[in-house]
Amino acid sequence: MTLVHAALIATALLLGAMLFFSFAVAPMVFRALERPQAAKLMQALFPLYYLVILGLGAVAALTLGIAGDPLHGGVMAFVAAAAALLRQGLLPRLDVLRPLKEAGDADAQASFARLHRASMIVNLVQIVAVAAVLVRLLP
């Protein structure tokens, strides 16, 4: 297997995981569970979700970089780095704000909503970036 094949597999797995989690798992959790339980489950799943993005994105970035495709390697490095920042920076902030928001703190509610919206935008950008790289890698 060549490095480009390894990158292709990592990128395809990453896109599949991101699409499945974002458009199947998350909506189903909120349909199947009461909001407090759904939020608690999602809070437990997000660190793993971002770790998967970080790991597969890093594999794709490294293999593409070594294989001589710095543009697509850079895109995948951005995806991995964004996941690391969200996991290590945004999630802890949301965890601090969540109980305050639930207690009715208006400032916490606004901050939580702003951060949640930002994470959704970054997630969408990541999905588009991964899809674009995958399209370029397909034979």
- Asked whether 119 and 83 are in contact (CB, 8 A), the reply is no
Global pTM reads 0.93
How many CB atoms are located within 10 Å of the residue 130 CB?
26
The model's pLDDT over 82-98, given as tens digits with 9 standing for 90+, comes to 999 999 999 999 999 99
Contacts with 125 (C-beta within 8 Å, 6 or more apart), sequence order: 82
pLDDT tens, position by position, 18-33: 999 999 999 999 999 9
Which conformational region is residue 5 in: left (phi greater than 0), alpha (psi within -120 to 50 degrees), or beta?
alpha
Q: What is the mean pLDDT of residues 60-67?
A: 97
Residue pLDDT, tens place only, 115-131: 999 999 999 999 999 99
The SS3 assignment for 139 reads coil
